[in-house]
Structures are given as C-alpha cells and as structure tokens.
Amino acid sequence: MVAAIAAMLCFEVAARYLFNSPTIWAQDIAVVCQVWFTYLGMAYVLRQRSLIRITALLALAGPALRRIADGLALLIILAFSLVAVIYGWDIVADSIRLGRRQPTMLELPNWIAELPVVVGFALLALQALAELIRLPFAPAPDFSPSGEHAPTHAGPPIE
C-alpha cells in the first residue's frame, strides 16, 4: 500500500506540474489508502509486541508483576478497541444512511475513510483477546532494555 500511495502521489505531481493537468482522484485515494494502511497495521504491531511502552519501573519488577501489568495493558487495549468499534460503527452507519461525502472534487463517500477505524480496532480487539488468552502460558514479559530488542526465536543470533 505504501508503494501504491507513493506511485499515486508521484503521478499527481507529474500530472500537475509537468502536464498542467491535475487529477481529481490521486490525493483522495492516497489518503484513504494511508488510513486503511495505518488502522490495519495495529493488530500486527500488537502481535509483534512493537507498541510503544514505558517500562522504566516494570523493568525492575518481578515476573508476576510484569505479567499483571501486561495483562492490564491488554485489557485496556481491548476495552478501548471495543469502544472505538461501537462508536466508529455508529459513525459509519450514519455516513451511509445520510450519504455523507468528502468535500473534495472526487466526493468519495465518507464511510470509505471511516470503515478502516472500525475494522482496525476490531482486529486490534481480537489480537488483544488472543494475547490475553496466551499470557498465562507464555514467559513473563521482559521489560528490560535488552529484552525490548532481543530476538524472539530460539537458537543462536541471526546475522
């Protein structure tokens, strides 16, 4: 999607400045792709445990407290995601019902840019639930500075 966004914007720049003939679609479609790309990536980032975390105090805690903190964080992510899905769906449904459109020349329906919020947070909620289920059976999270970047595979480091 990032390559497609870059290609669309390069095409738009060439059409506008080289041929003095701007498109009505390139910027709108690129923005929609960027929104989809961003929200669809949230669950993957959680699965990879690459979310931003502040772990200064947890690095000093024992395994039980680290596991509890991780579980609490996952519960908060799950709760926030469910709220975002519920309210986001209301917004998407209103946009469909009212026929709202973006105020651009292309006039894309608003729901096209609003739906990724619902889908992305639904996937994030499912991933948080999966991580919560997996939490009691996994080793306690490592919040030390070296643990944040340690490889997640067994065996010698890959070079």
Per-residue pLDDT reduced to its tens digit, 58-107: 777 787 888 888 899 999 999 999 999 999 999 999 999 999 999 888 89
Nearest residue to 121 via CA among 51, 42, 44, 47: 42
Give the residue ranges of DSSP H helices in the chain: 2-13, 26-47, 63-98, 110-134, 145-148
Assess whether pLDDT exceeds 90 at residue 158: no
User: Are the beta carbons of 35 and 102 closer than 8 angstroms?
Assistant: no
How many CB atoms neighbour CB 128 within 10 A? 25
pLDDT tens for residues 8-57? 999 999 999 999 888 888 889 999 999 999 999 999 999 988 887 777 77
What is the pLDDT at residue 22? 87
Phi first, then psi: what are they for 50, rounded to 5°? -110, 15
* Token reading at 153: 């595979």
CA–CA distance from 8 to each of 4, 22, 130 (Å)? Answer: 6, 12, 36
